[in-house]
Structure 1
Amino acid sequence: MGNHISTLKVQSLRDCEVDDAMFEATKQGIVEFVVELLKITQPLIFHNDDRRHVFMIAIQYRQENIFSLLYGINEGWKAHILNQTDGDRNNMLHVAGEIAPPSQLARISSPALHMQREVQWFKEVERIVPEWCKKSKNYYGETPYEVFSRSHKELVNEGEKWMRDMANSFIVVGTLIITITFAAVFTVPGGNAQDGFPNFLQKRSFMIFIMSDAISFFTASASVLMFMGILASRFDPVDFLESLPKKLIIFLSTILTSIAAMTVSFSAALWIILQHRPWAIIPIIIMASIPVTFFVLLQFPLLVEIYSLTNATGISFDRKMKPWL
Structure 2
Amino acid sequence: MGSSSLLMTFKDSNGRNLVHLFFLYRRLDFFEQFLNERKQYLLRAVDNEGNNVLHLAALLAPQFKLFSGLSAKFQMDKELSWFKDAERRVPHGLKSMKNKKGKTPVDVFFDEHNQLSKDIKEAAKGIADSGMVVATLVATVAFAAALTVPGDKNNVWFIFFIVTNAIALFTSSASILSFLTNFISSRFADTEFVISVHPSLYYGLQLLMISVTTLVYAFIAASFLIFDHTTKWVSYVVTPMGFSPLLVFILFQSKFWDDSYWSKYYRPDPNLGRQT
Using structure 1 for the length normalisation, give the TM-score.
0.64
Which secondary structure does the structure 2 equivalent of 1:200 belong to?
A: coil
Alignment partner for residue 279 of structure 1, among 216, 228, 233?
233
What is the match of residue 210 of structure 2?
Answer: 257
CA–CA distance in structure 1, aligned partners of residues 38 and 210 of structure 2: 52
Deviation at 1:297, TM superposition (A): 2.7
Instruction: Find the residue that maps to 1:240 and give its secondary structure.
Output: coil
With over 3 angstroms needed to count, the CA separation of the structure-2 counterparts of 1:303 and 1:271, relative to structure 1, is farther
CA shift digits 1:35-79 (9 cap, x unpaired): xxxxxxxx69x866353535x555544x5xx53776799884795
Contact 1:171 1:224 in 2 (8 A): yes
Could you tell me which amino acid in structure 2 is paired with residue 219 of structure 1?
A: T
Structure 2 letter corresponding to 1:10:
S
Q: Once the 2 structures are TM-superposed, how far is the Cα of residue 171 of structure 1 from its aligned partner?
A: 0.6
The aligned counterpart of 2:80 is: 119
Question: Is the Cα contact below 8 Å between 1:97 and 1:145 reproduced in 2?
Answer: yes
Deviation at 1:163, TM superposition (A): 0.8
- Residues in 1 aligned to 2:30 and 2:164: alpha-carbon distance in whole angstroms: 51
1:247 equivalenced with 2:227 (yes/no): no
Q: Report the CA distance shift for 1:119/1:274 in structure 2 as closer, same or farther (over 3 A).
A: same
Asked if the contact 2:131/2:205 (under 8 Å) is kept, the reply is: no
**2:50 is the counterpart of 1:95:** no
Q: Where does residue 234 of structure 1 map in the other structure? A: 187
Looking at structure 2, the residues matched to 266 and 156 of structure 1 have their Cα atoms a distance apart, in angstroms, of 41
User: Residues 215-263 of structure 1, C-alpha deviation per residue, up to 9 Å, x if partnerless?
Assistant: 22222222222212333242433x425xx35333322222222211111
Distance 1:284 1:315, change over 3 A: same
- Cα pair 2:217 2:242 within 8 Å, conserved: no
Q: Per the alignment, do residues 245 and 67 of structure 1 end up closer, same or farther by CA in structure 2, a change over 3 Å counting?
A: farther
User: Superposition pairs for residues 34-183 of structure 1, below 5 Å?
Assistant: 49=12, 51-53=16-18, 56-57=20-21, 59-61=23-25, 66-67=27-28, 76=37, 82-100=43-61, 101-102=63-64, 106-108=68-70, 110-183=71-144
Task: Note the C-alpha offset of 1:157.
Answer: 1.6
Return the offset for 1:189: 1.5
Alpha-carbon shift at residue 272 of structure 1 (Å): 1.7
Percent of aligned positions with the same letter in both sequences?
29
Q: Verify: 1:221 aligned to 2:173, yes or no.
A: yes
Does the C-alpha gap of structure 1 residues 89 and 103 become closer, same or farther in structure 2, counting only changes over 3 Å?
A: closer
Structure 1 partner of 2:248: 294
Give the whole-Å Cα distance in 2 for the aligned partners of 1:135 and 1:223: 42
| TM-score, with structure 2 as normaliser | 0.73
How many residue pairs get aligned? The number is 258
**Equivalent in 197, 209, 217 of residue 161 of structure 2:** 209
* Unmatched runs of 5 consecutive residues or more in structure 1: 1-7, 15-42, 191-198, 317-325
Q: Are the counterparts in 2 of residues 253 and 303 from structure 1 also a CA contact under 8 Å?
A: no
C-alpha distance in 2 between matches for 1:220 and 1:58: 50
On the 8 A contact 1:206/1:269 being kept in 2, the answer is yes
| Aligned equivalents of 1:146, 1:159: Cα separation in 2 | 19
Structure 1 segments (4+ residues) deviating >6 Å = 68-75
CA 1:211 to 1:269, structure 2 compared with 1: closer, same or farther past 3 Å?
same
